[in-house]
Amino acid sequence: MKPLNVISFLVENKPGVLFNISNNFRRKNFNIHSITAIAGEDEDTTRITITSRGEAHEITKLVEQLDKMVDVIVVKRLDPLRTIQRDLALVKLHTVDPMAQEEALETINHYKGLILDIKPDTIIAQVTGSVNEVSEFMRDVKHIGIIEAARTGITAIEKGWITLEDTHIL
């Protein structure tokens, strides 16, 4: 399996930009594994984080092409050794059996999750961590009975003083 790459963008906050970026991934035959986007502090920009599988040289070519887009201010493949990555899951578990409820609470606690809602037959938990930690949690509670789950996808930021915005200035 090809490695998972994290690509971070700072783009102009206007309609169609995300479509154009994702269309570039499609044209180059890259599947988007996860995508997160949020308007920036000034609301004129949006920060986008996309993960996709591919060899480093393939992703580098894609990033070079994405960097040429008019609405892209800066795009960068984040170095996995210098990047903090997090995923968040909201999981609704079937806990009508008291033993299942107890096991669910123990597992949520083990992963340092939060209980957002608890009813006699369901628990909604929030678990945040690395992609692997969240995936492990999902595997560990699967047998209890996942009624519904939603995940944010990866969001990431590089360690140290240099920011994505600084990359544009360099």
CATH number, domain at 69? 3.30.70.260
- The total of structural domains in the chain comes to 2
Domain that holds residue 34: 4-77
Higher pLDDT, 2 or 117: 117
Q: Determine, yes or no, domain membership for 162.
A: no
Q: Residues with Cβ < 8 Å from 150, sequence gap 6 or more?
A: 89, 90
The answer to the question of residue 33 being in a domain is yes
Answer yes or no: do 72 and 22 share one domain: yes
* In a domain? residue 140: yes
What's the pLDDT tens digit per position in 132-164?
999 999 999 999 999 999 999 999 999 988 788
Residue 124 to residues 37, 98, 106, 110, 118: CA-CA distances in angstroms? 24, 15, 14, 15, 6
Q: Could you tell me if residue 112 is inside a domain? A: yes
pLDDT digits (tens, 9 = 90+) for 38-96: 987 788 999 999 999 999 899 999 999 999 999 999 999 999 899 999 999 999 999 99
- The strand pairing partners of 91, in sequence order, are 125, 149
pLDDT at 170: 45
Query: Do 104 and 127 share a domain, yes or no?
Result: yes
Bridge partners of 75, per DSSP, are 9
Q: List CB contacts of 72: < 8 A, sequence separation 6 or more.
A: 9, 10, 11, 17, 21, 66
Q: Which is more confident, 170 or 42? A: 42
Mean pLDDT of 100-116: 97
